[in-house]
Structure 1
């Protein structure tokens, strides 16, 4: 048993916000409130001055395993997640080989069982990430897959997307989409605007995202599928999602911490550490993302944790891969940039990092209620810390050296303290 005492207990689904105790027995929450006593061998955690919340859930990470384990692997990715307060993550399918068959999925899923947190593996939408032929979604679903995505690449064939959405609707699983039309990208990773001009770099127009989001919001409306717009980056795309939701489409949008914190100007300061797909855009785009989070147009915060080696990121802007490592800084950035600056309440931030992603993937986690899974995070919302010493294999982040507020103290998964 695990007895968490005197914490500020917060559950976004019920709105519970009170000081008290939480008692865990095995993998279940058995009591919330005042616990008078527990078994003699019960482990006690004093959470005075700290927040006790559902374990964080990230529906968009890259653990690079199999195929690119020099960047990250399941073990180091899980350690990074635990360090960041995450008890559940969903890995993307752009591994080598691509997760497009039951055999590949089951091999990864079996290894995930040994990890200290819950690592779920998404499957590809198209065979070999070619965007032409659908994977056997029925067989993969039967094997345990909870969602499908070709993240990293856009699905350009509208007929393929429609068929995938129809099948996803039938299976009642989300389909997650990377929205970048290559026709509007001269060079990827940097916004097409004043900074790209200054650097003499082609850049990627906001239109690359906007046209795809508009198409897929319409398809979501027509098919009734649960569609997840990944790492939304532009004001226009947020508007399209808002319109689709108002019409009744089951569209969820993710915002990544780097997109609500930084703008294209960061490329001038951080170079390739600020190169990502979709790119950091203008201050107007950043503020529309924050407004989207406030109004509920954007329901989920997801990191798009994208580890790369130091050697890769030291290449030129044109040659370096896109993406940053994000699991260990996500909560701190949310508290510092959104709660600390008055854009969201702590409860609203937690909602977008726990119960909303849980609902997207139909997971029982993400709730701090009696009878629910014993997945929790305990953090000090006021403690300041400097970003350094990553548990991830990678350290490709513009936030290294930043002072953030909100320090994770314990990550508890299935009633056990996960080693971050």
Structure 2
């Protein structure tokens, strides 16, 4: 069944799209509901903490690149994703503040050490339903970020409702709107004890379907991190463009891309697309750190972003015409060529950064595992007040473990290392 919000108001959004899980008194200032959503995410502590969480390299890592150009963090990635998403969404008729709010919040639940920390916490959290960054983001937005509390009475009984965003904003932030039991390739976006709010957000929506704004956010995320992670890896000295001139080297990268990002693609097709992409006139053949080569690199990133966004906009407009596209009225169409190119860019970074630095990544996972064990052993005294209350109020071991996982997920890279040392970790 399709959501009733597929019959939007003239502005593209129905009243129910602007509803909040917990009712709030009317506000005096003349702002739209989605402008409020964007402001709430932008001013949240959880978003600020992303400034010290890994994107490509850990914040504060010793890198000569820091003297030339600051490497991105999870926060700067989120800001860049928001800029891409706002413009792409606006061009297709979405409310730009709504799309920006979704883009700003899409990584807000990510733990220390990025996806590497996510993998370690998933192992730790298996007895309580696993860990997934996207599910944690929903949890932060609707429970953990202390902005709003519901009035006493059913069904929320005075509990925290997080930022209390609108239904449309929460829906737009959900990449994988299904629980662990329905995970696709290990990805899911809802913990079992967050199903009530998810059911409210998704009321009347066909299971597994994502709204148009979430699709814009998802593609903007792919665009931003594929291009900018490549830029950072190059500046940090992890990648030498000259090596990619070798067809054998390109085959290795294409194999990584196929394995991680597009298993349905034929290797020969990827290699052909890779060679064609590198032959584009805006692709530099080397990076030397000079102002001219920095400018050439910036030209590459801006051109690739424009290429990916225009391809999606053109293909989607060709299918749906010029009308505003919102909620469940359309599907974002990204041509296969651009999806393959995007996968190849991500494959370059994965091949030269993630895979080749596995020893460091293994130490990070061990640190997260030890930190969880030490925190749980000393709980509730090892927890901050908000998480301590959740631990003490939990009805069972699974609930207590979830409180510990929530605590660790909230930490930055550096605070996780400091807490690990404080508790006597050996990793």
Query: Shorter-chain TM-score category?
Result: under 0.3
Whichever structure has more helix as a proportion of its residues is 2
Whichever structure has more strand as a proportion of its residues is 1
* Superposition TM-score, scaled by structure 2 size: 0.22
Q: Report which of the two structures shows the higher radius of gyration computed on alpha carbons.
A: 2
